[in-house]
Amino acid sequence: MSNKPKAVFDGASHTPEVPASRPMNWQLEQIVDELRAARADWRKSCGRTRELGSRELPSRQTVAEILAALSGALFPMRLGPSDLREESEDFYVGHTLDSALNALLGQVRLELHYVARQCGQREPDLETRAVQIVREFGAALPEMRRLLDSDVIAAYQGDPAARSLDEVLICYPGVQAVIHHRLAHLLYRSGVPLLARIVAEIAHSATGIDIHPGAQIGHSFFIDHGSGVVIGETAVIGNRVRIYQAVTLGAKRFTVDESGQLLKSQARHPIVEDDVVIYAGATILGRITIGKGSIIGGNVWLTRSMPPGSNVTQATLQHQPGNEGQP
C-alpha cells in the first residue's frame, strides 16, 4: 500500500490541500547578485562610485511619523491621542514636539549631507545649519497654528454641509492637505526642498490633492472636495481663496536653455488674487493673474489674465471677440 499522501478536497472550493513540503528554491543568490550589478550600474551612471555605508536620503516613513506628531501637537484635542485630557495638553504638546523636532533634525541632517555630496562640497557647519533650520521651524509653529485656524474657519464657512469646525478639521481632505502644505512650505523656505516634497507627496497620496511645497498661499484658504487639484511650484494664491475639485493651476509651457534642458524654478504658474472662487474642473495655465474677487466657472480653460471682479464661464469665453467656434 502506498504511503503517498492523498489530496483532500474541500467540498465548497474543490481545491486540493497541498501537504507541507521543503522550501522552494528561488535562486535567490543569482537574483541578489544581479540586483547588486543593476545598482552598481545605476550608481556608476550617476557618478556615485563611492560607497556610503549607510542610508543617504531622508525616510518617507520617518517623515510620515513626524507629520502625525506635528499634527497632534498643533491640534492636540482633535488630532492628538484619543485618551488625551485637557489638563495634560501642555505636557503632551511639549513631549511630542521634543520627539518630533529631534526626529526632524535627523532627517534635515540627511538632506544637507546628501546635497553636499551631490555638489562635491564639504561644509563644516552642516550640523549648526541643521539645528538652526529645526529651531526656526519649531519657533514658527504657533504662528502656523493661527494661520491654520483661518483655513479651518474658511472651510466651515464655505461649505453649507459642514456642521462644525471640528468636523472639517477631522474629516475634510482639503484641510488635511493644507495642514501638510503649510508644514511643507516652511521646510521649503528653510532650504530642505527634498523633505518638503516628501511631506507634499504624503498628503498627495492621502488626499488626491497635489500642492507643490513652493506654492505661496495666503490665509483662509479652502479646497472643497479636493480630488484632482493641482497647484504648481510658483503659483501665488491670495487670501480667502476657495477652489473646488479637479482645478489645475499649472504651467502653459516650459522654458529650456540652449542645450534643451528645462530651466528650473522659473515663474510659470498663475497668480490668484484675494477673494477668488474657482469652480470644479477649471484649468488655469501660465504666469497670468486672476484679479481680486473674480469667479472662474467650472471646466473653464484659461490662459490669459482676468481683471478684478471678472465672472468667467465657458459661455462668456466662447462669445468674446476672436473666440467664435473655439471650445
Q: What span, in angstroms and rounded, lies between the C-alpha atoms of 105 and 111?
A: 10
- In this prediction the pTM is 0.84
Residue 318 clears pLDDT 80, i.e. is over it: no
Q: Which of 154, 158, 176, 172 is nearest to 71 (CA)?
A: 176
- pLDDT at position 58 is 94
Q: 56-208 domain in CATH 3.30.1300.10? A: no
327 pLDDT higher than 50: no
Q: How far apart are CA 190 and CA 196, in angstroms?
A: 9
From the number of C-beta atoms within 10 Å of its C-beta (0-12, 13-18, 19+), residue 198 rates as buried
Model confidence at 16, pLDDT cuts 50, 70, 90, reads: low
Would you kindly state where each structural domain of the chain is located, as residue ranges? 56-208, 228-327
CATH 3.10.450.50 fits 228-327, yes or no: no
Over residues 179-226, the pLDDT tens digits come to: 999 999 999 999 999 999 999 999 999 999 999 999 999 999 999 999
